[in-house]
Amino acid sequence: MNPPTSTDPGCVAACVKWVDLSPETDPTSGLPVPSAHSWGFSEADRSAVEVALRLADDRGTDAVVVCVGPPDAQWALGELAAAGAARAVLVTSGNPGDTRGGASSGETARILADILGPVGLDADTVVCGDISLDRGSGSVPALLAHHLELPQALGLISVDLGDRPRIGGATRDATTTLMGVRRLDGARRERVGIPARAVMSVEGAVAPLRRAPLGRAVEARRRVQRESSPRRPEPVRPARILQWRPPPRSLPAPEGTDAFERVVSLTGALEERTPPRVVELAPPQAAAEILRQLHRWGYLTDAGAAGAEATAAKATGSEPTDPVTAEPRP
Amino acid sequence: MTEHTAERPSSDNDDFDAIVVGAGPAGSAAALELARAGRSVLLIERGPFPGSKNMYGGVIYGRILDTLVPQWWTEAPIQRWVTRRQTMMMTGEQALTVDYRTEAWGRPPYNGATAYRPDFDSWLADKAVEEGATLVCSTTVTGLLTDSGRVVGVSTDRPDGDVRARVVIAADGVNSFLAKEAGLYGEVDPANYTVGVKETIALPRSVIDERFAVRGDHGVDIEIIGCTGDVPGGGFLYTNSDTIAVGLVLSLPALAAGGRRPEELLAELKLHPAIAPLVEGGEVKEYSAHVIPEAGYDMMPELVGDGIVVAGDAAAMCLAAGLWLEGVNFAIGSGAAAGRACHGALRKGDTSAVGLGDYRRRLESSFVLKDHRKLREAPHLVMGELAQQKLPAMACGVAEDMFTVTNPEPKAGLMRIVRRQMRTNGVKLRSVVGDTWRALRAFG
Ligand SMILES: Cc1cc2nc3c(=O)[nH]c(=O)nc-3n(C[C@H](O)[C@H](O)[C@H](O)COP(=O)(O)OP(=O)(O)OC[C@H]3O[C@@H](n4cnc5c(N)ncnc54)[C@H](O)[C@@H]3O)c2cc1C
The answer to whether position A182 is within a domain reads yes
For residue B291, report the distance from its CA to the centre of ligand 1, in Å: 9
CATH topology of domain B16-71+115-188+299-374: FAD/NAD(P)-binding domain (3.50.50)
B112 Cβ below 6 A of ligand 1: no
- Are residue A130 and residue A206 in the same domain, yes or no? yes
- Are residue A215 and residue A329 in the same domain, yes or no? no
Is a pLDDT exceeding 50 seen at residue B3?
Answer: no
Whether B174 and chain A come into contact, CB under 8 Å, resolves to no
Tell me the shortest Cα–Cα distance from B204 to chain A, in angstroms.
Answer: 6
The answer to whether position A270 is within a domain reads no
Residue A325, pLDDT score: 61
Is a pLDDT exceeding 60 seen at residue B258?
Answer: yes
B140 Cβ below 6 A of ligand 1: yes
Q: Strand (E) positions, chain A?
A: 12-16, 19-20, 24-25, 32-33, 39-40, 63-68, 87-92, 125-129, 152-159, 178-183, 189-194, 198-202, 224-228
Is a pLDDT exceeding 90 seen at residue B136?
Answer: yes
Q: Which is the closest atom of ligand 1 to the Cα of B293? A: 19
Do the chains contact at B3 and A218, CB–CB below 8 Å?
yes
Do the chains contact at B1 and A27, CB–CB below 8 Å?
no
Range of the structural domain that residue A329 is part of: 278-330
Q: What is the pLDDT of residues A50-106, one digit of tens each?
A: 999 999 998 889 999 999 998 889 989 999 999 999 999 999 866 554 545 567 888
Is a pLDDT exceeding 70 seen at residue B299?
Answer: yes
Q: Which is the closest atom of ligand 1 to the Cα of B317? A: 19
B58 Cβ below 6 A of ligand 1: yes
Question: Which residue ranges make up each domain of chain B?
Answer: 16-71+115-188+299-374, 191-293, 384-443
Residue of the nearest CA to atom 38 in ligand 1?
B172
- Are residue A16 and residue A151 in the same domain, yes or no? yes
Contacts of residue A282, Cβ cutoff 8 Å, sequence gap at least 6? A316
Average pLDDT, chain A: 81
- Are residue A66 and residue A176 in the same domain, yes or no? yes
**How sure is the predictor about B12, in pLDDT bands with cuts at 50, 70 and 90?**
low
The ipTM is 0.86
| Residues in B touching A218 (Cβ below 8 Å) | 1, 3-4, 42, 134, 136, 163
Asked if residue A45 lies in contact with residue A127, where contact means CB atoms within 8 angstroms, the answer is no
Residue that terminates a domain, selected from A228, A252, A267 = A228
Residue B356, pLDDT score: 98
- Are residue A222 and residue A292 in the same domain, yes or no? no
The answer to whether position A196 is within a domain reads yes
Do the chains contact at B158 and A26, CB–CB below 8 Å?
no
Is a pLDDT exceeding 50 seen at residue B22?
Answer: yes
By C-alpha distance, the chain A residue nearest B141 is A214
**How sure is the predictor about A174, in pLDDT bands with cuts at 50, 70 and 90?**
very low
Nearest to B204 among A29, A216, A218 (CB): A29
Specify the CATH number of the domain B191-293.
3.30.9.90
How far apart (Å, rounded) are the C-alpha atoms in residues B183 and B79? 40
Asked if residue A52 lies in contact with residue A1, where contact means CB atoms within 8 angstroms, the answer is no
Residue in B20, B52, B54, B163 to alter for ligand 1 test, most ligand atoms within 8 A of Cβ: B54
**Domains held by chain A: number:** 2
pTM of the model: 0.83
Reduced 3-state DSSP string for chain B: CCCCCCCCCCCCCCCEEEEEECCCHHHHHHHHHHHHCCCCEEEECCCCCCCCCCCCCCEEEHHHHHHHCCCHHHCCCCCEEEEEEEEEEECCCCEEEEEEECHHHHCCCCCEEECCHHHHHHHHHHHHHHCCCEEECCCCEEEEEEECCEEEEEEECCCCCEEEEEEEEECCCCCCHHHHHCCCCCCCCHHHEEEEEEEEEECCHHHHHHHCCCCCCEEEEEEEECCCCCCCEEEEEEECCCEEEEEEEEEHHHHHHHCCCHHHHHHHHHHCCCCHHHHCCCEEEEEEEEEEECCHHHHCCCCEECCEEECHHHHCCCEEECCEEECHHHHHHHHHHHHHHHHHHHHHCCCCCCCCCHHHHHHHCCHHHHHHHHCCCHHHHHHCHHHHHHHHHHHHHHHHHHHCCCCCCCCCCHHHHHHHHHHHCCCCHHHHHHHHHHHHHHHC
- Are residue A181 and residue A300 in the same domain, yes or no? no
The answer to whether position A236 is within a domain reads no
The answer to whether position A324 is within a domain reads yes
- Are residue A216 and residue A293 in the same domain, yes or no? no
**How sure is the predictor about A119, in pLDDT bands with cuts at 50, 70 and 90?**
confident
Q: What is the pLDDT of residues B74-123, one digit of tens each?
A: 999 999 999 999 999 999 999 999 999 999 999 999 999 999 999 999 99
Residue A32, pLDDT score: 78
By C-alpha distance, the chain A residue nearest B206 is A28
Do the chains contact at A219 and B5, CB–CB below 8 Å?
yes
Residue that terminates a domain, selected from A187, A205, A228 = A228
Bridge partners (DSSP) of residue A189 are A183
By C-alpha distance, the chain A residue nearest B5 is A219
Q: What is the pLDDT of residues A299-329, one digit of tens each?
A: 888 887 788 778 777 766 766 666 556 566 6
CATH number at residue A192: 3.40.50.620
How far apart (Å, rounded) are the C-alpha atoms in residues A95 and A229? 9
Pairing of strands A178-183, A152-159: antiparallel
The answer to whether position A72 is within a domain reads yes
Tell me the shortest Cα–Cα distance from B307 to chain A, in angstroms.
Answer: 21
